[in-house]
Chain A
Amino acid sequence: MSLLDMDERLLDLASLIDLVYSPIMDVKEFPEGVDITLVEGAVANEDNARMLRLVRERTDVLVAFGDCAVAGNVTALRNPIANPLPVLQRSYGPDPSRMPGLHTPDAEVPPLVTKVENLRALVRVDYYLPGCPPSADLIFFVLSELVAGRTLNLQSRATLG
């Protein structure tokens, strides 16, 4: 959402990029030969892990976008408990029929991983863009720099949280 906070600056960016994959686009398969990918969210289930590895393989510059991708953040709050099941039971009640697919993973619902990881734990990350959410100004700065082919140096512009 904070992408949209860039307001009219989005139009400037739009003229410089081709958006080839996004959750709001009807593209099933992550394309090859992508220049820049912003990955948001932590790795919480096996499908996330598979997807992340695929993205890494097909992307030139991978940016961990937001605190969850950078550090696990809220997604990783369950890590001290080690096993996701108690968290689910606490949220959805102990009755397994109320959370089909979670007790016994199926094709629809990928199994949760025991420990939520940030992106770096699984793949090489080129840049980190922290913030929960990152500010629109910062996103604009990062995208402008990367699109222009410059090496990103955030220094003290960004903060976790």
Chain B
Amino acid sequence: MSVTTLTINGRLVSAAEGASILDVAREHDIHIPTLCHLDGLSEHGACRLCLVEVAGSSKLQAACMTKAVEGMVVTTDSERLRTYRRQIVELLLAERNHVCSVCVANRACELQDLAVSMGLHHVRYEPQAPQLAMDASHPRWIIDHNRCVLCTRCVRVCDEIEGAHTWDVMGRGRQTLVISDMNEPWGDSASCTSCGKCVRVCPTGALFEKGAVATNKDPHFVTYLRMAREQKLWNR
């Protein structure tokens, strides 16, 4: 396997061929915030939190989807990037009804963690307060659209790992909503296998178990499943 050398934040680092900037950064303990990315799932490239500056390119690039290239000079942290990331988290907090104090995922939520890490104490944008439903028709789990950030991790894990493709996204723009089957109650879904993977990858309190308080989720869950399935390796 050939090795690529590039510079991240002034550090010379090496990368395996085909690795993304995000992969390389993580391997070298350089933190880049993410939300829609989850190890083991295909990349979505939509949260824009992992945008980085690449020398020679006027456009910011998503670290999760940009391949590390020989000689590339990457900046993952700058005043400008911090400002953008903060604004993005603020936009999310204003978009739906994220009320941490009454959320099952309080203190076990990636959105909340992002806000804390950015020192975000209030939101300057108009809270949209949309009227959104909660679907508790499934015997074990609930989906609460008020807390959904549309990262589509549930959609991808259901399609790519479980193979059921129960979840998808309907509508567009601010009307976008995660749905099961023909926008039917989750409990009535003919395609759902009740495997619960979607619940285990949800970064917020949008998908949660009935009667339980969410705890921090294992970020390597999907990678483990892939390793187990494809390489018969069950070492967690």
Binding site for B on A (CB under 8 A): 64, 67, 70-74, 76-77, 79-82, 115, 118, 120-121, 125, 128-130, 132, 154-156, 158-161
Which of A79, A120, A128 makes the CB contact (< 8 A) with B129?
A79
Which of A70, A79, A80 makes the CB contact (< 8 A) with B121?
A70
- Residue pairs across A and B with Cβ atoms less than 8 A apart, 9 shown, are A64-B122, A71-B93, A74-B101, A77-B102, A82-B131, A115-B129, A128-B122, A129-B121, A158-B121
Which of A72, A80, A120, A132 makes the CB contact (< 8 A) with B124?
A120
> Judging by beta carbons under 8 Å apart, are B112 and A160 in contact?
yes
> Judging by beta carbons under 8 Å apart, are A70 and B122 in contact?
yes
Produce 1/0 per residue, B98-133, CB < 8 A to A: 011111001100001001111101111011011110
Which of B97, B119, B126 makes the CB contact (< 8 A) with A80?
B97
Cβ-closest chain A residue relative to B101? A132
Q: Which residues of A contact B116 (CB under 8 A)?
A: 156, 158-159
A44 to chain B, nearest CB (A): 14
Q: How far is the CA of A156 from the CA of B113 in the complex (A)?
A: 10
Which of A125, A154, A161 makes the CB contact (< 8 A) with B119?
A154
B104 to chain A, nearest CB (A): 11
Q: How far is the CA of A23 from the CA of B171 in the complex (A)?
A: 48
Cβ-closest chain A residue relative to B97? A80
Binding site for A on B (CB under 8 A): 93, 97, 99-103, 106-107, 112, 115-119, 121-124, 126-127, 129-132
Q: Which residues of B contact A73 (CB under 8 A)?
A: 99, 101
Q: Which residues of B contact A67 (CB under 8 A)?
A: 100-101
Indicate whether A156 sits within 8 Å of B101 (C-beta atoms), given known contacts A72-B127, A76-B129.
Answer: no
Q: How far is the CA of A154 from the CA of B122 in the complex (A)?
A: 12
Q: Which residues of A contact B121 (CB under 8 A)?
A: 70, 128-130, 154, 158, 160
Q: How far is the CA of A132 from the CA of B101 in the complex (A)?
A: 6
Q: How far is the CA of A1 from the CA of B83 in the complex (A)?
A: 35
Cβ-Cβ contact count across A and B, 8 Å cutoff:
70
Q: How far is the CA of A79 from the CA of B94 in the complex (A)?
A: 13
Cβ-closest chain A residue relative to B146? A80
> Judging by beta carbons under 8 Å apart, are A80 and B129 in contact?
yes
A60 to chain B, nearest CB (A): 20
> Judging by beta carbons under 8 Å apart, are B122 and A80 in contact?
no
Q: Which residues of B contact A77 (CB under 8 A)?
A: 97, 99, 102
> Judging by beta carbons under 8 Å apart, are B122 and A71 in contact?
yes
Q: Which residues of A contact B130 (CB under 8 A)?
A: 80
Q: How far is the CA of A82 from the CA of B127 in the complex (A)?
A: 13
Q: Which residues of A contact B97 (CB under 8 A)?
A: 77, 80
Given A70-B122, A161-B103, 20 more pairs with CB closer than 8 A:
A64-B122, A67-B100, A73-B99, A73-B101, A74-B99, A74-B101, A76-B99, A76-B129, A79-B127, A121-B126, A128-B121, A128-B122, A130-B121, A130-B122, A132-B100, A154-B121, A159-B116, A160-B112, A160-B115, A161-B101
Cβ-closest chain B residue relative to A160? B100
> Judging by beta carbons under 8 Å apart, are B100 and A156 in contact?
no
Cβ-closest chain A residue relative to B121? A128
> Judging by beta carbons under 8 Å apart, are B115 and A71 in contact?
no
Cβ-closest chain A residue relative to B118? A156
